[in-house]
Structure 1
């Protein structure tokens, strides 16, 4: 598909005709990260896995903005027949929320562990959130500096290590050529995609409250507690949303666990 700015967006369609589910990947992923899930969904309905701009076989014209990633989704939806359901994982879920809030013709929305910090009332909470935003900006700046020197493995490690990922896995991913190939997108995804500035200063819950689309908020029972709390907060803020925790699943849930939940939600009336 050709996006509004002329960028070619590569995609793979699993399954036959009909309104599809478009799968949005997280940071450091190309479309192969969701291919197994797409294959499992295809017997029930079509699924589209695509390379976000700058990754895999997709192009990357001009300066990156969240708006351009939304336009990429709009092109895919238009090419798929004019409407589609959307699934996004992690920072891909944040992009999916942006797209829904922007009014794209989305029939149903699945947000799988969007990585927003839970919000609470009170001066202490506002100060803590401000401190977390500053820390995120500093981390992003460190990653930009490493990428400018083409130190991709170090940039990936600078992103992954603070998440609590085991050191062995951080080292494995940091030295994976496929992960290194998309490391240049890290300053944008997740940092820009999940930032307050990308929402015009609104909180994630305030942005979510504008979305009227039927929505499923998914979290893994073995994931980070703050992500589960965030999912519950977003679901409570949305007019038509349900929060569901998948027992025993980590942040990156198994396709075998995801596929039945997605199928049930998308086929329900």
Structure 2
């Protein structure tokens, strides 16, 4: 990341900015840094002033204890100030949950888009979410970063053989380096269910996307998020899954973000 700003609590936030036009800030999900969003930023930069950044505790950004979701919202506030005092927000996966909470908090947000925020649609999922939170806190508290990453990968549905393979891969060290931030994404997700009362405070136009090839529960969650917003729209991105291709997503986002 080439530039830095400072959040309200003194935490440095590293970011990169590209393109010209209306300001858009892209927010990554779990186990990701701003670099993860760079390909999408490149696709949008011909029409927008696009900012990607390392969320706190990742990449080149700092991390100030104790963590609170409000601090991450303040990070976004600092970035919005940098790009002119108003911006559209796009959030991927759990980054979408942060975007929704930020928009509901009253930040000067022009438009909001999220892709496949992993909310559960059944109350029966709450105990599993609580167990994950407890086991994640225990692993991180004991410094077992690898075990924390395993817990996350298992929760996303990755098989044991693939997890063992990941442990032996060159990318594992990087995954362990951002493992503490898994607790931050877990906090952003709350109890894992759609926070309808929070989303009801998102007054900006909201686009909620799911991949056309994704499992049905992604679509159920996306519809529920859109239905909870005063100005929410649900749509699909044809042929895509949770690993959405930037070149396919960008035209859909651009049309909405242009207003």
Scaled by the length of structure 2, the TM-score of the pair is 0.91
1:215 aligns with 2:213: no
Residue by residue over 1:135-162, the C-alpha shift from the partner in whole angstroms, topping out at 9 and shown as x without a partner, is 2121122122222333322211111113
Distance 2:166 2:16 in 1: 24
Asked if structure 1 preserves the Cα contact closer than 8 Å seen for 2:194 and 2:224, the reply is no
In structure 1, the gaps of 5 or more residues are: 119-127
Aligned ranges 1:32-111 → 2 under 5 Å: 32-111=35-114
Q: Please list the CA deviations of residues 11-54 of structure 1 after superposition, one character each: whole Å capped at 9, or x if unmatched.
A: 001113x4311000001111111011101110111111100001
Contact 1:27 1:91 in 2 (8 A): yes
CA distance in 1, matches of 2:27, 2:134: 25
Matching residue of 2:19: 15
1:263 counterpart SS class: helix
Using the size of structure 1 for normalisation, the TM-score is 0.88
**In 2: Cα distance, 1:223 partner to 1:6 partner:** 40
**Structure 2 residue matching 1:178: 3-state secondary structure:** helix
Secondary structure of the residue that 1:67 maps to in structure 2?
helix
- 2:120–2:194 CA contact under 8 A, matched in 1: no
The Cα of 1:166 is off from its aligned counterpart by 4.3
Report the 3-state secondary structure (helix = DSSP H, G, I; strand = E; otherwise coil) of the residue aligned with 1:23.
strand
Q: CA separation in 1, counterparts of 2:190 and 2:41?
A: 29
Aligned twin of 2:140: 147
After TM superposition, give the deviation of residue 114 of structure 1 in Å.
1.2
Unmatched tracts of structure 2, length 5 or more:
none
Matches of 1:207 and 1:25 in 2, distance apart? 20
1:239 to 207, 230, 236: 230
Aligned length: 252
Is the Cα–Cα contact under 8 Å of residues 129 and 191 in structure 2 kept in the other structure?
no
Using a 3 Å threshold, how does the CA distance of structure 1 residues 35 and 142 change in structure 2: closer, same or farther?
same
Q: Retained in 1: the 8 A contact 2:54–2:60? A: yes
8 A Cα contact 2:209 2:235, kept in partner: yes
Aligned residue in 1 for 2:254:
263
Structure 1 window deviating more from structure 2 (221-230 vs 38-47): it is: 221-230
- Between Structure 1 and Structure 2, which shows a larger proportion of strand residues? 2
- State the shift of 1:133 in Å: 2.2
Hey, what does 1:193 align to over in structure 2?
188
Q: Distance between the aligned counterparts of 1:114 and 1:65, measured in 2?
A: 19
